[in-house]
Amino acid sequence: MAKRNFRLRSHHHTVNLAVQCLCIEDKFINFTCKIANGTMIAHGHLQPQFTSPQYLMKIVYKLKDIPRVWVVSPALHPKAVHLYADKHLCLYWPKEWAWRGDQLIADTIIPWTGLWLFFYELWLDTGKWLGTSSHDFYPDRKRYAREPKHQSP
C-alpha cells in the first residue's frame, strides 16, 4: 500500500470582529467594543506608568484593513512624533511587520499602544524618541516615501 505524503499547510484564518471584541474585553477590562457596519470600534484607558495619566484610546478596525489607534484624551503634544498624518499612532513599520487578520488586537496592537505611550512620555521628558523606530535607521528611507506620511523625530 502506498503512503501518502501529507504536508501541513499553514492556514491563516481571519479572526472575526466579534472574537476580536471578546478578546479585547477579556484581557482589558476597562475597554469596551462595538461593532457596526462591519467596523469594530474599541474605547478604553491605558496607563503606561503608575504616575502617568489615564489615556483614553480609540481603536478602529475593519476586516481586511489594519487596526488604527488614536489617543482621544488627554491631547497629545502638538509636535508629538511617530504619528501618521491623521494622528493615528505609528506602532510598527509596515516594511518590517505586516498586520494579518489571524492576529488578535489584544495580543499585539493594545500592548504596543501601551509601549508607544511609555516612549511618548519619555519623549516629553527628553525630547528624544527612545523607543524602537527602525525606519529611522534605514539609510535609503526616501525610497519608502510613498508610504503614508508620519512624523518621526
**77 or 153, higher pLDDT:** 77
Long-range CB pairs of 138-142, under 8 A, 24+ apart, other chains included: 138/95
Q: Is residue 34 within a helix (H) or strand (E), and if so which, with residue range?
A: strand 31-36
Number of Cβ within 10 Å of residue 114's Cβ equals: 17
The edge-to-edge listing of strands for the beta sheet with 39-46 is: 31-36, 39-46, 55-62, 68-73
Predicted confidence (pLDDT) per residue in 105-127, tens digit: 999 999 999 999 999 999 999 99
* 102 residue type, one letter: D
Q: Which domains does the chain have, with CATH numbers?
A: 17-151 (3.10.110)
Whole-number pLDDT of residue 94? 77
Q: How far apart, in whole angstroms, are the C-alpha atoms of residue 75 and residue 126?
A: 19
Sort strands 83-84 and 68-73 into parallel, antiparallel or unpaired. unpaired
Is residue 18 predicted with pLDDT exceeding 60?
A: yes
- Can you give the pLDDT at residue 146? 41
pTM above 0.85, yes or no: no
Per-residue pLDDT for 153 more than 90? no
Taking only the tens place, the pLDDT of each residue in 44-95 is: 999 999 999 999 999 999 998 999 999 999 999 999 999 999 999 999 877 7
Single-letter residue type at 27: K
Q: What is the pLDDT of residues 124-151, one digit of tens each?
A: 999 999 887 655 544 444 444 444 444 5
